Chain A
Amino acid sequence: MTGQELLDSVAKLFGQKLHAKTEFRGETTYTIAASDLREISKLCRDDLSFDYLIDITSIDNAGEEPRFELVYELYSMTLAIHLRLKLKIGEDERPDTVSDIWPTANWHEREVYDMMGIKFKGHPDLRRILMWDGYPFFPLRKEFPLEGLPSEMPDVAFTKSAPLEGGPFVTRPSTATTKDREPRARPPEL
């Protein structure tokens, strides 16, 4: 089987369960329903040779409904083919875990939970992975400010807001000196 045949058999096998298809520079992306995730994942691994889950990431489309989007990057070691699955998830919904299908998903789902606050149903050990247990915020959500929020966990860790001096800002394209292009503070009226 070639890579293209594999992708064709993905479309054939799942049919109506694949909602929208996007192709960009040879990468295939399918949108699926959150309820179909486990079934599709299992078949992808067992029958379609997608034996490697590269990554799980999440997107916060704040203001939209449903709010979050999960992205699963699959890879077939035998045929060297990528497949991307996307699904939308509401703020109060809990997507199924795939950590029993690809064990690597265990830590990826912990990271998604840590940064975005999405809780996975059936995960064996859903703890924070980067921040410490007891940190009260989910830092990659849109409502979380870049400079951070103060928090305190006695004897574990604390956080403070970082001084941004009116930032964040990027370099202004010009031939001026660094001092003018990247001032220490840039008030909004300028």
Chain B
Amino acid sequence: MAETRASAYDSKIEGNVIFTRLDAAFNWVRKNSLWPMPMGLACCAIELMATAASRFDIARFGAEVMRFSPRQCDVMIVAGTVTYKMALAVKRIYEQMPEPKYVIAMGACASTGGMYRSYAVLQGIDQLLPVDVYISGCPPRPEALLAGLMKLQEKISREKSFAAQKPQWTKKFTGASA
């Protein structure tokens, strides 16, 4: 019986070639290896650690590589109360991260100042940084952080990677034209 195998253009690479859009390929790579900058400032950092540990296992989403150098990070997880004393340090670390970069505001304090309606606390990190995902909770459970991370992955998968990243924010927060 004759073989019915279709003849390949080049049998050596047959089966190893995928056709897709360049944007989709880039986004797929980016969203599945989001290396976090663990900006742990208060009790939310405990939940962040729990998320990274074996029970909740953030490694399932490719985000287990907590980097303590901003140069190697993709997403800053602002976990905790941002005091005015710390605020510009957080901003500086964000500015040291390479593009494309994302920010998750984890918990009530990082999102809005939380219960600290006070002279000492920044009323939401979005006053300084462009926040991509807000997570409610005080502190949020690890599942909530994972849900936030998945939201961010959805957002990244819709991005146009070759368009200038976030031109409107570049203008708003640095004054530079994109």
Contact = CB atoms under 8 A, between A and B. Distances in A.
Contacts of B127: 160
A146 interface: yes
Interface in A1-20: none
B95 to A, nearest CB: 13
B121 interface: yes
B119 A148 contact: yes
B87 interface: yes
A164 B116 CA distance: 10
Interface in B45-101: 84-85, 87-88
B27 interface: no
Contact of B119 (A132, A156, A159): A159
B88 A156 contact: yes
A155 B95 CA distance: 14
A158 B87 contact: yes
B87 to A, nearest CB: 7
A157 B84 contact: yes
Interface centre among A145, A148, A164 (most CB of B within 10 A): A148
A149 B119 contact: yes
Contact of B118 (A131, A132, A148, A156): A148
A173 interface: no
Given A132-B85, A157-B84, A157-B85, A163 B123 contact: yes
B85 A131 contact: yes
A167 B115 CA distance: 12
Given A144-B119, A163-B123, 20 more contacts: A130-B120, A131-B120, A137-B119, A139-B119, A139-B120, A146-B118, A146-B119, A147-B117, A147-B119, A155-B88, A157-B84, A157-B87, A158-B88, A159-B84, A159-B120, A160-B123, A162-B113, A162-B118, A162-B121, A162-B123
8 contacts: A130-B85, A144-B119, A157-B85, A157-B88, A159-B120, A162-B118, A164-B117, A167-B117
Interface of A: 130-132, 137, 139, 144-149, 155-160, 162-164, 167-168
